[in-house]
Amino acid sequence: MNLLQNYLSGRWQAGTGQGTPLLDPVLGTELARVSSAGLDLADGFTFARETGGNALRAMTYRERAGLLAAIGKVLQANRDAYYEIATANSGTTKKDSGVDIDGAIFTIGQYARWGEALGDVRALSDGAPARMSKEPAFLSQHVLVPTRGVALFINAFNFPAWGLWEKAAPALLSGVPVIVKPATATAWLTQRMVADVVEAGVLPAGAISVVCGSSQGLMDALKPFDVVSFTGSAETAGVIRSHKAVAQLSVRANIEADSLNSALLLPDAAPGTPAFDLLVAEVAREMTVKSGQKCTAIRRVLVTAAHYDAVAQAISAKLAKVTVGNPRNDTVRMGALVSREQLDNVKAGLAELRGQTDVLHDGASAPLVDADPAIAACIGPVLLGTRSPATADRVHAVEVFGPVATLMPYDGLEQAYDFIRRGEGSLVASVYSADAAQIAETALALADSHGRVHAISPEVAAVQTGHGNVMPMSLHGGPGRAGGGEELGGLRALGFYHRRSAIQAETAAIDAVTAASTPFAR
Amino acid sequence: MNLLQNYLSGRWQAGTGQGTPLLDPVLGTELARVSSAGLDLADGFTFARETGGNALRAMTYRERAGLLAAIGKVLQANRDAYYEIATANSGTTKKDSGVDIDGAIFTIGQYARWGEALGDVRALSDGAPARMSKEPAFLSQHVLVPTRGVALFINAFNFPAWGLWEKAAPALLSGVPVIVKPATATAWLTQRMVADVVEAGVLPAGAISVVCGSSQGLMDALKPFDVVSFTGSAETAGVIRSHKAVAQLSVRANIEADSLNSALLLPDAAPGTPAFDLLVAEVAREMTVKSGQKCTAIRRVLVTAAHYDAVAQAISAKLAKVTVGNPRNDTVRMGALVSREQLDNVKAGLAELRGQTDVLHDGASAPLVDADPAIAACIGPVLLGTRSPATADRVHAVEVFGPVATLMPYDGLEQAYDFIRRGEGSLVASVYSADAAQIAETALALADSHGRVHAISPEVAAVQTGHGNVMPMSLHGGPGRAGGGEELGGLRALGFYHRRSAIQAETAAIDAVTAASTPFAR
């Protein structure tokens, strides 16, 4: 039995019991097991908080940026092994594995560069000193300093690599030790990356820990200055936010949950225009990348009623070319879902949406390449459509976490915004048009219900970064149903791991404070 | 029966039933009653969210700043009436009433001025555009736009005026309608201020509502884009954060709860130095202003062991001069607590602390001026002390919300910081010294566990704004036990009422976005 070890209290520890198996979602074979049973979590969290926290806070931002650069090198050196693990445990094609693995390495590299520029200080100044009286002798200067606690990450199965490092990079740069609990289904890659970093000895003791298995007891180990960042279902998010640590101890919680992201074709983009083609290509890509298992994937496609049929046909034509099956076969464009359980969830979600929609393209029954449909967690892409999006309430509420999207017509932009807002807060909406002024207006109209608005116009067709790709320069998160969290966004991410304080003092003392800090510019 | 009306759905509405009485805490007489029973809260919240929200969002920041200026004028015109209500319902001296009433007017005025400078736009840009690729053609621009919801304020009894307006000013400036539920004991002043503003017709319909009485059902009326800001006990804070609205719908919650604020005499400040005298004066003032019923009041006083006795004597000498009783008598320096219930709480808290402390000054048994000790909620100031702050755990955990503080010695600054941190997060710590470099070092050391660090040095003796005075330029709030909230801090307060979004688009669209927004500078 290959029981993955946990790294806690500065040493490798095996959980007790038989553990929970991790499977190959294409072949159905067991790959490893995880168990966190019997671990002394309180001791592990204290070790991270004290030994790890003290060591990290003693370093400057520039020094901690150096840690990130060193992590990046370690991961780069072991990159081939990660691709192998992803193929086996996530069932993803090489390209899709890259979104996770290379996305992680890219994000760490960005924070290493940004952190280097923060220099050799241990605090950030936030804004300029403000006068507290008519005389300029008494001033208020806001500062950000690292929180004296740990950062607990309870992560999702779809990004075992990026999901760890997009959170760990800003946490470590901030001087806050990390404890990661990967989703069990794909815990192997997370555990392996942590093992490689530990093995390389590039981080101070206690700076990083990994617990594989159950999340039982993790929240109980938190104290007031700790933070928790969760990615996963809205239901579990509710449990986390109701937990005593958050509700009573004021532990900061960052949540990224469900999201019914939209793609909006603006009225100027008729069939035959480049913007129209860009929407078609982006929707087909977003539906199939990582088999649609991205929190940011397009779930709702809004087009003017006149173009509904043309869009349906064009997207369906693209989807018809997508081969599905074993990612080890080079002809396969789309691999597996992460597990049979997820396959069941996708089928259940599809059944629910089908009650209010038509099937415009049905890849679900297409034959698989090199994979046994009785074993593999594979399903082809399905495009649904409804001509009554005002009454089809399910399409605005049910996130099918697979290669599924729903097309719907709108009558006027205000109605389109209303439909999009029925998602009650999403991570991202994309907009397709050649009209820059209209793009700006639409983006500002959608900004309050989205963490990100991504505009694809012919002008940027070749350089746009993709509706669903989360770039470290931009905010990742969304209000309402999407959980209300904020991640990334360049140095904005550091805010979650810092405490803001106003220092009110005489000019000489404020001068000494600002001399010991770097301006927190975004 | 003088039943205070509720203003909801754009009209005055009486609650049903006998209501709950509001009393004069000195005379024990009934002043008014409140009831929110039978109100259609869902309708009222929808009216505020739609009618109020649409009207406010249609205005620019400069226009909304104009609303604040108009509110300020209305309040100024009715100021005498507010002082009368405060004397009767809060039992405060004129000076103490001013902290609440004039503090409110001052804060509104500040936000009116700051808002005016934001100009005639409806969005704020957050940071500069970031390149998303090597080519500068595709950019990411973060923006802040008002949330499409209501701001529910569930407020505390100690600041019926300031507690409303320090929250309402940034909310209304942000374009977010306000619904306030004042604490029952002192709801009259809040209700009267809202009535005056409504009567003056200076706000669009739905922009402000007031519900007096029970908070039952208020949280149930919240939707995902609403926000709630609570000031009060840690226990109720836990209920609010566990409520479905926050835990599951991602309603943003800002909490300001208990706090065991500290005053720290640095080692250089020996008896006879100006810094020493400044600490003595500030502690005596903070203990007695509003009878110690300020969330920011000093609860713990830390001095080097060598100066323990000298500080005890000096503070006690100041406290001995404090006359307590009916605020209508001009010789009275300190009025009443807000209610007999609070008096009982203070006595219970004192009893708990006395188990681990000595009584250094006992004003609790001193005779009252013009007040019947069997009726009035009055109690004189009590200075406690412990020479064993490491083991006297109650003094770091029990906030006695009255004129009570505990003196304790420290041995070395690291130990002082440790003691202060045992408060597990506080609103404010003050530092007394003539050494600017040491002030800066100490302020940065305490910043992670305090929303504000206030340094009082001889240089600024005449212009410093006071340990417990919350100035709108500086952050108000604190981590951990203090609730983890952030209020005020200049324009930083607008962040809570806005949604941040990253707009990724071609240069021309980003130019149009920035042209339609003002940089969010702090």
Contacts of A133 by beta carbon, 8 Å cutoff, 6+ apart: B463, B465
pLDDT (average), residues B160-177: 98
Q: What does the pLDDT read at residue B134?
A: 80
Q: What does the pLDDT read at residue B522?
A: 66
Q: Is the dihedral of CA A438, A442, A447, A451 positive or negative?
A: negative
Report how far residue B128's alpha carbon sits from residue A133's, in angstroms, rounded to the nearest whole number: 31
Contacts of A458 by beta carbon, 8 Å cutoff, 6+ apart: A274, A275, A278, A434
CATH of range A6-257+486-519; options 1.10.10.10, 3.40.605.10, 3.20.20.30, 3.40.630.30: 3.40.605.10
Task: Judge: B481–A224 Cβ closer than 8 Å, yes or no.
Answer: yes
Question: Does B54 contact A at CB distance below 8 Å?
Answer: no
Output the six-digit token pair for B373. Answer: 């000790």
Considering only the C-alpha atoms of chain A, give the largest distance between any 2 of them, rounded to a whole number of Å. Answer: 79
Closest CA to A125 of A428, A501, A507: A501
Contacts of A299 by beta carbon, 8 Å cutoff, 6+ apart: A259, A260, A261, A262, A399, A400, A404, A405, A406
* Predicted confidence (pLDDT) per residue in A135-150, tens digit: 779 999 999 999 999 9
pLDDT (average), residues A313-317: 98
What count of CB pairs under 8 Å joins A to B? 317
* Predicted confidence (pLDDT) per residue in B50-81, tens digit: 999 999 999 999 999 999 999 999 999 999 99
Report how far residue B447's alpha carbon sits from residue B451's, in angstroms, rounded to the nearest whole number: 7
Q: How far is A240 from chain B (nearest CA, A)?
A: 8
Contacts of B247 in chain A (CB under 8 A): 237-238, 241-242, 247
Give me the sheet containing A151-154, strands edge to edge: A11-13, A6-8, A208-210, A178-181, A151-154, A227-231, A252-256
Using the structure block, give the residue that is written with the tokens 């003796």.
Answer: B461
Question: Does A299 contact B at CB distance below 8 Å?
Answer: no
Within A366-433, strands assigned E span 382-385, 404-410, 426-432
pLDDT category at A133 given cuts 50, 70, 90 is: confident
Contact A250, A224 (CB under 8 A): yes
Which one is catalytic: A166, A212, A282, A295? A295
* Predicted confidence (pLDDT) per residue in A496-521, tens digit: 999 999 999 999 999 999 999 999 98
Output the six-digit token pair for A126. Answer: 């936030």
Q: Is the dihedral of CA B32, B231, B341, B285 positive or negative?
A: negative
Contact A459, A275 (CB under 8 A): no
Question: Does A279 contact B at CB distance below 8 Å?
Answer: no
Collapse the DSSP code of B105 into the 3-class scheme (helix H, G, I; strand E, B; otherwise coil) and give the result. helix
- Where are the domains positioned within chain A? 6-257+486-519, 261-473
Q: What does the pLDDT read at residue A521?
A: 82
Residue B439 has its nearest CB partner, among A238, A465, A505, at: A505
Q: Residue A484's CB: how many other CB atoms inside 10 A?
A: 26
Q: What does the pLDDT read at residue B133?
A: 82
| Side chain identity, residue B109 | G
* Predicted confidence (pLDDT) per residue in B396-440, tens digit: 999 999 999 999 999 999 999 999 999 999 999 999 999 999 999
Cα angle value B94/B97/B102 (rounded, 5°): 110
Residue B130 has its nearest CB partner, among A451, A473, A499, at: A473
Q: What does the pLDDT read at residue A522?
A: 66
Residue A283 pLDDT exceeds 70 = yes
Task: Judge: A502–B474 Cβ closer than 8 Å, yes or no.
Answer: yes
Question: Does B500 contact A at CB distance below 8 Å?
Answer: yes
Q: How far is A74 from chain B (nearest CA, A)?
A: 25
* Predicted confidence (pLDDT) per residue in A151-167, tens digit: 999 999 999 999 999 99
Q: How far is A380 from chain B (nearest CA, A)?
A: 30
Output the six-digit token pair for A363. Answer: 């890849």
Report how far residue B349's alpha carbon sits from residue B405's, in angstroms, rounded to the nearest whole number: 11
pLDDT (average), residues A357-369: 96
Give the best residue of A143, A250, A432, A456 to mutate against chain B (max B CB count within 10 A). A250
* Predicted confidence (pLDDT) per residue in A31-72, tens digit: 999 999 999 999 999 999 999 999 999 999 999 999 999 999
Which positions 340-399 of B are in contact with A (Cβ < 8 Å)? none
Contacts of B80 by beta carbon, 8 Å cutoff, 6+ apart: none
Question: Does B479 contact A at CB distance below 8 Å?
Answer: yes
Using the structure block, give the residue that is written with the tokens 């553990």.
Answer: A19
Q: What does the pLDDT read at residue B136?
A: 79
* Predicted confidence (pLDDT) per residue in B211-230, tens digit: 999 999 999 999 999 999 99
Task: Judge: A436–B460 Cβ closer than 8 Å, yes or no.
Answer: no
Collapse the DSSP code of B138 into the 3-class scheme (helix H, G, I; strand E, B; otherwise coil) and give the result. strand
CB hemisphere CA count around B120 (13 angstroms) = 0
CB hemisphere CA count around A297 (13 angstroms) = 24
Residue B521 pLDDT exceeds 90 = no
Contacts of B456 by beta carbon, 8 Å cutoff, 6+ apart: B275, B278, B279, B282, B430, B431, B432, B464, B467
| Side chain identity, residue A487 | E
Contacts of B334 by beta carbon, 8 Å cutoff, 6+ apart: B93, B96, B288, B291, B322, B323, B324, B380, B381, B403
CATH for A261-473? 3.40.309.10
Strand pairing category for B298-304 and B358-362: unpaired
Residue A86 pLDDT exceeds 90 = yes
Contact B297, B99 (CB under 8 A): no
Question: Does B483 contact A at CB distance below 8 Å?
Answer: yes
Contacts of A255 in chain B (CB under 8 A): 250
Residue B499 region, left (φ>0) first, then alpha (ψ -120 to 50), else beta?
A: beta
First to last CA, chain A: 48
Q: Is the dihedral of CA A88, A466, A263, A254 positive or negative?
A: positive
Residue of A nearest to B491 (CA): A127
Question: Does B327 contact A at CB distance below 8 Å?
Answer: no
* Predicted confidence (pLDDT) per residue in A208-249, tens digit: 999 999 999 999 999 999 999 999 999 999 999 999 999 999
Q: Find the helix packing angle between A94-116 and A162-174, rounded to 10°.
A: 10
Residue B499 has its nearest CB partner, among A123, A448, A509, at: A448
* Predicted confidence (pLDDT) per residue in B433-454, tens digit: 999 999 999 999 999 999 999 9
Report how far residue B4's alpha carbon sits from residue A422's, in angstroms, rounded to the nearest whole number: 38
Q: Which residues of B are catalytic?
A: 256, 295
Q: What does the pLDDT read at residue B82?
A: 98
Of chain A, the percentage scoring pLDDT greater than 70 comes to 100
Residue A457 has its nearest CB partner, among B502, B506, B511, at: B506
Cα dihedral: A81, A87, A90, A91 (round 10): 180
Q: C-alpha distances in angstroms, B426 versus A145, B297, B396, B449, B483?
A: 15, 11, 11, 6, 9
ipTM value, please give it: 0.98
Residue B120 pLDDT exceeds 80 = yes
Contacts of A501 by beta carbon, 8 Å cutoff, 6+ apart: A142, A143, A144, A145, B443, B446, B447, B448, B450, B451, B452, B453, B475
pTM of the model: 0.98
Output the six-digit token pair for A125. Answer: 């100044």
Output the six-digit token pair for A214. Answer: 């159950």
Question: Does B306 contact A at CB distance below 8 Å?
Answer: no
Report how far residue A312's alpha carbon sits from residue A360's, in angstroms, rounded to the nearest whole number: 7
Which positions 129-158 of A are in contact with B (Cβ < 8 Å)? 130-133, 135, 137-138, 140, 142-143, 145-148
Residue A1 pLDDT exceeds 80 = no
